[in-house]
Amino acid sequence: MLYSAKVMEHFANPHNVGELKDANGVGEVGNQKCGDIMKMYIKVENGIITDVSFMTFGCGAAIATSSMATDLIKGQPITEALKLTNRAVVEALDGLPPVKVHCSVLAEQAIKAAIADYYRRQGIDPTPIVGDLGECEACAHESESCSCGE
């Protein structure tokens, strides 16, 4: 079996799917190589992500990682959500086949993009807080198969 039971579960029944009408941060990222797109919505109150949802035109691994990632940041302070790496999400899913690890980068980047949007709406420059959204941790490990678009 290529995929863990947890991946299959989140793929078949993803959590936090759809548009969040009262979101105050929205981020959209794309994977230029495969063409997959992910949109992440967050609602922030007093520095806490009280609600989160996502929509994706993406592969099963992207859906499963987004579902898990939204579960992991829901109810967390922004500072904690920013620390969430794609590796941590993959671990929480009991792993992904190596060739699909890059798909998990989409979820991490979409969360960061949504947080950056939230800061921008508050009139705060997100760059020093959120960092460079273009960075792709998986590139260092899988330069051949990485499709984060860099």
- Give the interface with ligand FES as residue ranges (CB under 6 A): 31, 34, 36, 58-59, 61-62, 103, 106
Nearer to ligand FES, 54 or 118 (CB): 54
* Least spacing, CB of residue 129 vs ligand FES, in Å: 26
- Shortest Å, Cβ 67 to ligand FES: 14
Residue (34 or 55) nearer to ligand FES, CB: 34
Q: Which of 59, 103, 136, 148 is catalytic?
A: 103
Beta-carbon contacts of residue 19 (< 8 Å; ≥ 6 apart) = 41, 53, 55
**CA-CA distances (angstroms) from residue 116 to 1, 5, 26, 40, 74?**
37, 33, 9, 11, 17
Q: Measured from the CB of residue 59, what is the shortest distance to ligand FES in angstroms?
A: 3
**Beta-carbon contacts of residue 88 (< 8 Å; ≥ 6 apart):** 72
Closest CA to 101 of 111, 88, 112: 88
Residue spans of beta strands (DSSP E) within the chain:
25-30, 37-45, 48-57
Nearer to ligand FES, 30 or 126 (CB): 30
- Annotation marks residue 103 as catalytic: yes
Q: In sequence order, what are the residues at sequence separation of 6 or more whose Cβ sits closer than 8 angstroms to the Cβ of residue 136?
A: 102, 105, 109, 146, 148, 150
Nearest CB to ligand FES, comparing residues 14 and 58: 58
CB of 4 to ligand FES, least distance (A): 16
146 flagged as catalytic? no
Q: Which residues are catalytic?
A: 34, 103
